[in-house]
């Protein structure tokens, strides 16, 4: 069976697995952003925590994903269901780029800009929302973009613990030594990564407020 035929015949399964994959990636990324951005902001306020948190995150990244899935199995509520476990592991992987870029983006705000804001009487909250986050937003989105692309790829491993997603095809294809089946998982996953990269890239560019130069 040729690859296009495979897609036609297994249309329903391809869609289901793509849906599962999207769900795994989507939920993990929402969690990673919900945890990572505040954590990055915290690091910009307490630089003493920086090496600890970023270090822990770096170590997390060095654990092979398959091993991490296995290691999390005994965790009570999490280990009970494969998708919970997969989401936790994916969130942990996605965290580093989000935290690091949030921190870097905020730390990258020009010192005179920050000083002027403080001197003008902005409260710490106003400084964060009106100056630091808007100016850091494109760097933060760049981190989310990197994390999303990585997560789409790593999420294929989730099939190994029965969490579903496009990895199902890849593992099945490996077992069957059938390249078409592998590609049936790999191609939609690759397209998903490219789409996410493209869309987040558009958002990122729209955040760099570079007005058309009209200076004469």
Which stretches of the chain bind another protein, using CB under 8 A? 110, 112-113, 115-123, 126, 131, 134-135, 209-211, 213-215
For another protein, the closer CB: 13 or 115: 115
C-beta separation of 188 from 18 below 8 A = yes
For another protein, the closer CB: 74 or 110: 110
CB of 183 to another protein, least distance (A): 45
For residue 83, the tally of other CB atoms under 10 A from its CB is: 17
For another protein, the closer CB: 74 or 211: 211
Say which residue the tokens 């939609």 belong to: 188
CB of 126 to another protein, least distance (A): 7
CB of 121 to another protein, least distance (A): 4
**3-state secondary structure (DSSP) of residue 122:** coil
Measured CA to CA, the distance from residue 13 to residue 176 in angstroms comes to 17
Name all contacts of 58-67 with Cβ < 8 Å and 24+ positions apart: 58/96, 60/92, 60/93, 60/95, 60/96, 61/93, 61/96, 65/89, 65/93, 65/154, 65/157, 66/157, 66/160
CB of 128 to another protein, least distance (A): 14
For another protein, the closer CB: 12 or 215: 215
CB of 63 to another protein, least distance (A): 38
For another protein, the closer CB: 12 or 209: 209
**Tokens, residue 201:** 């890239």
Measured CA to CA, the distance from residue 106 to residue 41 in angstroms comes to 7
């Amino acid at each position: 069976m040729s690859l296009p035929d495979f897609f036609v015949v297994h249309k329903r399964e391809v869609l289901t697995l793509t849906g599962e994959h999207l769900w795994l990636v989507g939920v993990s990324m929402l969690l990673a952003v919900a945890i990572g951005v505040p954590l990055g902001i915290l690091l910009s306020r307490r630089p003493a925590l920086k090496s600890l948190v970023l270090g822990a995150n770096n170590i997390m990244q060095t654990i092979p994903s398959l091993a991490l899935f296995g290691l999390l199995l005994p965790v009570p509520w999490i280990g009970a269901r494969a998708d919970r476990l997969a989401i936790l592991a994916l969130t942990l992987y996605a965290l580093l780029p989000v935290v690091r870029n949030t921190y870097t983006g905020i730390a990258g705000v020009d010192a005179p800009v920050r000083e002027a804001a403080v001197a003008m009487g902005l409260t710490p909250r106003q400084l964060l929302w009106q100056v630091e986050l808007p100016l850091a937003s494109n760097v933060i989105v760049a981190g989310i973009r990197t994390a999303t692309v990585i997560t789409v790829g790593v999420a294929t491993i989730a099939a190994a613990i029965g969490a579903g997603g496009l990895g199902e095809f890849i593992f099945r294809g490996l077992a069957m030594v059938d390249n078409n089946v592998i590609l049936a998982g790999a191609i939609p996953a690759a397209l998903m990564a490219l789409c996410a990269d493209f869309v987040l890239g558009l958002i990122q560019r729209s955040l760099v407020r570079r007005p058309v130069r009209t200076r004469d």
